[in-house]
Structure 1
Amino acid sequence: MDAGGFLVLLLGLSTPVASKEAWSYVEVRDGAHMFWWLYYADSASAQYENLPLVMWLQGGPGGSGTGFGNFEEIGPLNRDLEPRKTSWVQAASVLFVDNPVGTGFSYTDRPDAYATNVATVASDMLVLLKNFFTEKPEFQSIPFYIFSESYGGKMAAAISLELTKAITKGTVKCNFSGVALGDSWISPVDSVMTWGPYLYTTSLLDDYGLAEVNKAAEAVKQAVEQQEFLKATEMWSVAENVVEQNTNGVNFYNILTQDSDENHKLTHLALQILRHIRPLQRQSLSDLMNGPIRKKLGIIPQNVTWGGQADEVFTNMAGDFMKPVVDIVDQLLTAGVNVTVYNGQLDLIVDTLGQELWVKQLKWEGIPSFNKLRWTPLDDPASPHITGAFYKTYKNFAFYWILKAGHMIPSDQGPMALQMLKMITQQA
């Protein structure tokens, strides 16, 4: 379905007066329906045909790209329906997809239709992308990038590898040009094992706290090494509790802020959902999505509520949650795919220390040369002569260190995130 944008909605007009949009559902498996929402690029200097297409994947799993990514981070309007100055739509067409199935406006018809691992997530997305590029052939030749955040990065890596294979086979027609992994859950153990040192060096743990956090992290590591991944997910939740108790409630998404004390009598899975899914579905955003947006879209089934199945999405993926996908990143690099890693300085849940660990251990032949490079500073576009980031790149691999940003980089440092987008997509 094509539509003209929010001015149509707000002014009650029947003809498009704003940038072009489209949205639809794709049944990716029997009983599994995925929702996507496309904004055509709206640039004063170029037509959408001359700008890239970016697909945005949210984290969780269970976080909605059409909701949080759209209205809280990179879409044309913010949660109050006001224009966003740092919207990525000014530099690219942006495709938001609610995945895995059950996320956002995506839904399942039955309990056994949820994805339980990233392999199913990737195969579902391949069905959607094949459908999308068939329905929108104008995008088949346009450079296509996958950008992601948090658990979305783990999914993006797996999707990118399957997409590369599908393009080679000729089953999907698109101009896949690269993947960007933002604060991504690529190597969960490396993240957890560096929580203690990171918090200690930022004066958020004392010696006793460091010892307790490290002990809890070691239990996570042992479960992973023993291939007991559901147990590892439970131990991860225990480790988070230990962090909260010793830091008086540090926010896992930004260490300069604090979480309120929640009910720690909940089960492990319930606690994880509370910490990592609910923040992506604040009441004001839920009211927007289930109110004006639902009305605007006009195709949401009556029995579907935005975010209504998010908890089940997370629960069904719990056994896959702590599995690493570093080997997939290696395969992407070896296949010549452009891979970018970017991370926020103030993020704890996926701290930069942990990202550095798995990156330095990549088996890709270019990594020794990459590791020898010195980084280059980037000015913050919003504050000339003030460093906003560092980056380095070698062949088809790049790393961006984004300063003064937490887990959600576009919402914390919008101008810098937009500049990074343009650099990755070769517009700057």
Structure 2
Amino acid sequence: MTLLDHAVIWHVYPLGATGAPTRDWGEEAHAHRLPRLIDWLDYVVELGCDTLLLAPIFDSVSHGYDTLDHYRIDPRLGDEADFDRLIAECRSRGISVLLDGVFNHVAATHPMVAGGGPVKRDGDGNPVGWEGHGDLVELDHSDPRTVDFVAEIMEYWLARGIAGWRLDVAYAVPTDFWAQVTDRVRATYPDAVFLGEIIHGDYLGLIHDGHLDTVTQYELWKGIWSAIQNVNFWELDHALGRHNEFVQGGFMQTFVGNHDTDRIASVVGDAGAAVAAMLLFTLPGVPSIYYGDEQAFRGEKGEGFSTDDDLRPTLPDTPAGLAPEGEWMHALYRQLIGMRRRHPWLTRARVEVTDKQNEHISYTVTDGEHRCEVTVTLQPEVTAQIRFDDGEDATFTW
């Protein structure tokens, strides 16, 4: 059994959650903000999660995905002592920690760019920007030095107590590169977990050829919110057919929101967000909760430099500061996660749609020994029913 067999992930964006500035900041912005997350760890456990996924925490220019030094905690968050304290507090509560590794590109001002490091260069020797972003430079994944560079970073933080890595834009990196790196790292850390980000493409190819453990299941995310928003469960039926194929070949990280997407409650409303949560925790996969979705947070992508600010909000100092309006969703998440905890077989199960109309869907989830039946209706009222073969059941009306 691996971590992913039982993981329920709480995904947080530390720079935003702790109130760190992301633009035009100087030394006056340096602060020990990372320990603020410690006051949220009991909340994470009480929610039912056992894994904390941290968006970038390394020294960077602005938003964290423009790294300057992979061995240094971003000074806006603190230092390594703060990190060690957070890891120790997580360990004492049985929480595993995954870090977000940006290994496709670095900031254009990263020392290796001017210092002859392994970055892509054009015919004139100029650094190659990533997808038109002049402030980001692609690493050269055909250069053996890049394997050393990435593997050594991974091993350094694994030695400091993390359980594994989320691999940012893993789809943009050759799969054989990931295979080289993960094989090397697992020689020392055989239980390390590797989660690859992929939006469109060959999900199972990235897992199998890249020797990863799981990938982001964006197809299911799209199928869930679109089916609810458009009252058209035929799209979800298609996505579940694909999902069924994927989960037979590997773990799938499932989610209804993350740091790059509009908040689910902003897209489909409160009742729709409740349905999305119910789907998330009754379908096969490794469920991941983006911080605040369990409180019905709102947020939509904007335009310009602040495009993602609303998606990455500051948390109160402690959970006691949360608005009471979100408690009903929090209670629902706790109920659904508790149900998930009592039926861990769901992670590797199969799903089959047994009935569907535009406004209605029924499906069964089985693993050969266990069975769960789910029915969701969006009109004339929003209802859901869950029945397990061990007698546990729940009915909801929103």
TM-score, normalized by length of structure 2? 0.32
Instruction: Tell me: higher relative CO, structure 1 or 2? Use CA pairs within 8 A at least 6 residues apart.
Output: 1
